Amino acid sequence: MALLPIVEAQTRLLALAGRTPVERAALAQAAGRWAAAPIVARRTQPASDLSAMDGYAIRFDDLPGPWKVIGESAAGAAFPGSVAPGEAVRIFTGAPLPAGADCVLVQEEADREGDALHLQGDGPAHRGRNVRRRGLDFAEGDILIAAGERITPARLALAAVAGHAELAVHRPVRVAIAATGDELVPPGARIGPAQLPESNRAMLAAQIADLPIELIDLGILPDRIDALSQAFSAVDADLLVTSGGASVGDHDLVRPALEAAGAVIDFWRIALRPGKPMMAGRRDAMMVIGLPGNPVSVFVTTLLFVRPLIAAWAGAADPFPPGQTAVLGEMLPANGDRTDYLRAALVDGKVFASTVQDSSMLRTLARSNCLIIREPHAPPAESGEMVEILNIA
């Protein structure tokens, strides 16, 4: 069977995805989720002309002074009157500019004695100097955040200042994770020579921890079709992600166990290294992704498939990780028939691949800060060529 190209696998995966229902969440709970509807400004910011500096509100035409200080405008306590020729109002950063004034003289360029104010320096260079105009940031009715955009910390603050206490977002995705394999024991447990500390769940959970999820940990499951299918049947989640048992060995039982649990497999085996034996399908409304067992394969497939799927499910318009390019610091041999994600280090603007790329090796993965992407059948690449990379730092 021909291996499925990555982009096709990603497309098919997203086509299987649902969308979690929309809910209104308080700002703190909306952080890191995706907007389910456009976020529109309920107010104009700033609502009036404000001072950008501490100093004196004056009329530009009055320069070079002197002035008589007739009052004060502070943030939250505007000066109620207006500024006539020859007058100034003491003003602070963020305070409304009084009527009649059109610029602010910074206090470092002012000499004040009692209510007498003299220029000491050049003064504001033009009308509007040191003033934030009403609507400088945005106006009421502006669309500030589109549906499908992520609520980043900056967008959260923007929504708050735009007058929102709650946002319409998609509810978190319920993700169940399971490791499979008779050789696996919990990390730190006493261990025999044929056993291995289980590391994929910890890594996978950490790789998706910044996404809006509710994690359901199914633990370590044995290589027994009845136990696996029983566990898979009982899962109540939006997405089930397994690791291990995805290949063709006698103990690779995840696919038949998923099928026994009622899942329909949409695809299995993709043109990717590492990560070839990945499978995806669904059981009613629940999606299932069977990742290979090798730790680096889990890492790469999680980046390329699990994370984008969760993001899409949670309402992301653009769920895929951004591509970047870098200058190759060494030559690379021609690539085989799978897209290759090489563990690599980007150092001083140049990228170098690790010499050994075995998909079981976590130390090389842990030392890498990016992956070099090599297309199927790519010819040898020379040092100095631009290559595509994926940042994993």
Q: Is 206 helix (H, G, I), strand (E, B) or coil?
A: helix
Q: Does 245 bind ligand MOO (CB under 6 A)?
A: no
Alpha-carbon gap, residue 123 to 170, rounded angstroms: 52
**Whole-angstrom Cα distance, residue 102 to residue 64?**
14
Question: What is the DSSP track for 307-374?
Answer: HHHHHHHTT-SS-SPPPEEEEESS-BPPP-SSEEEEEEEEETTEEEE-S---TT-HHHHHH-SEEEEE
Ranges within 249-268 binding ligand LQZAQKY5 (CB under 6 A)? 249, 252
Please report, as residue ranges, which positions from 170 to 209 form the binding site for ligand LQZAQKY5 (by CB under 6 A): 179, 181, 183-184, 196, 198-200
Q: Which stretch binds ligand LQZAQKY5 (CB under 6 A): 40-48, 208-216, 231-239, 272-280?
A: 272-280
Q: 174 to 203, contacts with ligand MOO by CB under 6 A? A: none
Whether residue 196 contacts residue 184, with contact meaning beta carbons closer than 8 Å, is answered with yes
Nearer to ligand MOO, 271 or 326 (CB): 271
Instruction: Report, in Å, the least distance between residue 249 CB and ligand LQZAQKY5.
Output: 6
Residue closer to ligand MOO (CB basis): 297 or 335 = 297
Q: Which of 46, 148, 172, 277 binds ligand LQZAQKY5 (CB under 6 A)?
A: 277
- For ligand LQZAQKY5, the binding residue among 2, 194, 248, 393 (CB under 6 A) is 248
* Contact partner, 340, from ligand LQZAQKY5, ligand MOO, none, Cβ < 5-8 Å per class: none
Q: Out of 124, 181, 212, 274, which residue is the one contacting ligand MOO (CB under 6 A)? A: 274
Q: How far apart, in whole angstroms, are the C-alpha atoms of residue 298 and residue 380? A: 27
CA dist 348 and 97 (Å) reads: 48
Q: Is 303 strand, coil or helix? A: helix
Choose which of 275, 295, 315, 319 interacts with ligand MOO (CB under 6 A).
275
Answer yes or no whether residue 246 interacts with ligand LQZAQKY5 by CB under 6 A. yes
Task: Tokens for 112, please give them.
Answer: 């004040």
| Binding window for ligand MOO (CB under 6 A); candidates: 144-152, 160-168, 274-282, 315-323 | 274-282
Q: Would you say 353 and 330 are in contact if contact means Cβ atoms under 8 Å apart? A: yes
Strand order in the sheet with 55-58: 103-106, 55-58, 87-91, 67-73, 116-119, 110-113
CB of 345: closest distance to ligand LQZAQKY5 in angstroms?
Answer: 23
290 binds ligand MOO per the rule CB under 6 A: no
Among 33, 155, 201, 273, binds ligand MOO (CB under 6 A): 273
Q: Which residues contact 195 (CB under 8 A, 6 or more apart)?
A: 183, 184, 185
| Window contacting ligand MOO (CB under 6 A); options: 40-48, 88-96, 290-298, 363-371 | 290-298
Give the whole-angstrom CA distance, residue 141 versus residue 339.
46
Evaluate whether 241 touches 287 at the Cβ level (below 8 Å). no
Q: Which of 294, 302, 335, 339 binds ligand MOO (CB under 6 A)?
A: 294
- Give yes or no for a contact between 37 and 47, defined as CB atoms under 8 angstroms apart: no
10 binds ligand MOO, rule: CB under 6 A: no
Supply φ then ψ for residue 23, to 5 degrees. -140, 160
CB of 111 closer than 8 Å to CB of 137: no
Q: Is 148 in the site for ligand LQZAQKY5 (CB under 6 A)?
A: no
In the complex, which residues of this chain contact ligand LQZAQKY5 (CB under 6 A)? 179, 181, 183-184, 196, 198-200, 243-249, 252, 274, 276-277, 292-295, 297, 359-360
In the complex, which residues of this chain contact ligand MOO (CB under 6 A)? 273-276, 292, 294, 297, 359
